[in-house]
């Protein structure tokens, strides 16, 4: 199939159509012209064209009517309008109805090609943005967060309920438990998903830089401020700001942040006029903020502003049944990245994985899996390979807690099927057996939901 861009030309002047066709052909495009606007609209099919160029003043059907009719069939296609009598009022009217650009007669061939290139580049950027957004939304769907233990299920149920509500959430848990992943899932499942998700590690910047990074500054506010700069609050406008390790915020920044949360406005450094932005604030910490409040290191009023809803992530040692799933997931990612074919861990090595304390939680497990795969030469990661990266003697003698409830020798595909079946049962239970409602939350159509219910043998009494 040709990758040349297809351009539809509509103008009642046959001579102008022929001229534009020849110019566009010479530049590698595939044009087709119509001198009847009504016929062009009737035969127009969505996705058949990359760009439309139409005259405004035509007998039988005006260019603005053509524009509306085509946009009704394919709203995202760029349309360039041609006119010999360009006025500000006409241009505004055309742009409001969805035109991408205006071209005034007479025009030079180079100008036509220039406008066409711009329109097609804009469309390509929009398509790439849509693809990227779809990829992000798929990546951060709740069902793509790996785990089947009851502790994680209850967390995800809570997250699913609060994601759609525009409220402040404090995510707590040990380092490496996936707090930012949960924050991203909240954002991409919220009404703000089309806007930016902006994250900052509050403990990674010195106090003087942190304040200017968050709130921005005005030119001349301090030595070196040679130009005004927007802060992260403005960058995240309309979207979500994620404050990681919020317990490390210095007291003066806490005061400014509290004022913003109360008033929905703030002052850039050195600026006397306030700036208003509409953002949702998510925060996370691995420290005990209540103890920090007692010691005077954290403001109590800010704590209650941030902690409208609390989401607590369990440590990996309390999610032993999820370790085989997580390990297999990381193996799959590494196989895809490096074109390798590692199948999994040997049974004895997997038992050791499930009996470790994992003080670094999921992040540590991910690093260990990657390190093992870097040196393992066989299809399965052996106990000897694993022993180079964790001390088996410091692990528990056997997997504790939920680890005893799982089979460590089942294939990854079988483990994933069990996980998906449990997830679907939980969704159906939460929606009181309403399959249509459960399918919408899962992001699948009803046909797929019915097929999976049949495949896993899920019965009404299961939910």
Rounded CA-CA distance 238/196 in Å is: 7
| Dihedral of the alpha carbons of 46, 441, 456, 350, in degrees to the nearest 10 | 110
- Which CATH number describes the domain made up of 415-462? 1.10.10
Q: Which of 43-47, 113-117, 190-194, 207-211 has the lowest mean pLDDT?
A: 207-211
Q: Is residue 433 pLDDT above 90, yes or no?
A: no
Q: Is 175 helix (H, G, I), strand (E, B) or coil?
A: coil
Which pLDDT belongs to residue 106?
Answer: 86
pLDDT band at 27, cuts 50/70/90?
A: very high
Which pLDDT belongs to residue 52?
Answer: 95
Q: Is residue 445 pLDDT above 80, yes or no?
A: no
The reply to whether domains 317-409 and 415-462 share a CATH topology is no
Sign of CA dihedral 210, 211, 214, 216: negative
Which pLDDT belongs to residue 399?
Answer: 38
Radius of gyration over alpha carbons of the chain, in Å? 29
Which pLDDT belongs to residue 400?
Answer: 39
Higher pLDDT, 259 or 402: 259
pLDDT band at 227, cuts 50/70/90?
A: confident
Q: Where along the chain do its domains lie?
A: 6-134, 141-314, 317-409, 415-462
Which pLDDT belongs to residue 169?
Answer: 96
Per-residue pLDDT tens over the stretch 319-352: 888 888 889 889 988 998 999 989 888 888 888 8
Per-residue pLDDT tens over the stretch 186-209: 998 899 988 999 999 998 888 778
One CATH from 1.10.940.10, 1.20.1250.20, 1.10.8.60, 2.90.10.10 for 317-409: 1.10.8.60
Which pLDDT belongs to residue 179?
Answer: 94
Which pLDDT belongs to residue 406?
Answer: 41
The superfamily (CATH) of domain 6-134 is Response regulator (3.40.50.2300)
Ramachandran assignment for 124, one of left (phi > 0), alpha (psi -120 to 50 degrees), beta (any other): alpha
pLDDT band at 259, cuts 50/70/90?
A: very high
Q: Which of 88-102, 237-251, 256-270 has the lowest mean pLDDT?
A: 88-102
The CATH class, in words, for 141-314 is alpha beta
**Run of H or E including 455:** helix 446-455
Q: Is 116 helix (H, G, I), strand (E, B) or coil?
A: helix
Closest CA to 176 of 315, 345, 380: 315
Rounded CA-CA distance 287/198 in Å is: 22
Residue 363 near residue 180, CB atoms below 8 Å:
no
């Amino acid at each position: 199939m040709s990758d040349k861009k297809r351009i539809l030309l509509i103008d009642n002047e046959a001579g102008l159509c022929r001229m534009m066709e020849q110019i566009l052909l010479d530049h590698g495009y595939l044009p087709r012209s119509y001198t009847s606007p009504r016929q062009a609209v009737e035969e127009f099919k969505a996705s058949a064209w990359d760009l439309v160029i139409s005259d405004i003043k035509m007998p039988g059907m005006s260019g603005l009517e053509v524009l509306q009719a085509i946009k009704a069939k394919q709203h995202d296609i760029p349309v360039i309008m041609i006119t010999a009598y360009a006025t500000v009022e006409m241009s505004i009217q055309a742009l409001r109805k969805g035109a991408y650009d205006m071209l005034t007669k007479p025009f030079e061939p180079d100008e036509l090609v220039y406008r066409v290139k711009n329109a097609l580049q804009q469309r390509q950027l929009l398509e790439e943005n849509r693809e990227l957004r779809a990829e992000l939304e798929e990546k951060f769907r709740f069902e793509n967060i790996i785990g089947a233990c009851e502790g994680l299920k209850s967390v995800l149920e809570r997250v699913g309920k609060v994601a759609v509500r525009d409220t402040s959430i404090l995510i707590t848990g040990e380092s490496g438990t996936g707090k930012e992943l949960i924050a991203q899932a909240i954002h991409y499942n919220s009404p703000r998903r089309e806007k930016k998700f902006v994250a900052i590690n509050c403990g990674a910047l010195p106090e003087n830089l942190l304040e200017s990074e968050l709130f921005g500054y005005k030119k001349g506010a301090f030595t070196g401020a040679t130009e005004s700069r927007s802060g992260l609050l403005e960058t995240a406008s309309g979207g979500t700001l994620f404050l990681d390790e919020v317990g490390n915020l210095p007291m003066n920044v806490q005061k400014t942040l509290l004022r913003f949360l109360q008033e929905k406005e703030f002052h850039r450094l050195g600026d006397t006029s306030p700036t208003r932005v509409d953002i949702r604030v998510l925060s996370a910490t691995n420290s005990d903020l209540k103890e920090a409040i007692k010691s005077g290191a954290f403001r109590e009023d800010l704590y209650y502003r941030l902690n409208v809803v609390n989401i607590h992530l369990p440590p990996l040692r309390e999610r032993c049944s999820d370790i085989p799933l997580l390990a297999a997931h990381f193996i799959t990612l590494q196989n895809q990245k490096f074109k390798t074919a590692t199948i999994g861990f040997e049974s004895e090595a997997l038992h050791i994985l499930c009996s470790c304390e994992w003080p670094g939680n999921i992040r540590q497990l991910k690093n260990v899996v990657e390190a093992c795969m870097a040196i393992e030469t066989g299809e399965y990661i052996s106990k000897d390979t694993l022993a180079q990266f964790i001390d088996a003697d410091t692990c528990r003698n056997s997997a504790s807690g939920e680890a005893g409830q799982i089979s460590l020798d089942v294939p990854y595909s079988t483990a994933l099927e069990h996980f998906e079946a449990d997830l679907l049962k939980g969704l159906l239970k939460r929606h009181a057996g309403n399959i249509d409602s459960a399918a919408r939350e899962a992001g699948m159509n009803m046909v797929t939901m019915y097929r999976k219910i049949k495949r896993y043998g899920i019965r009404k009494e299961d939910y």
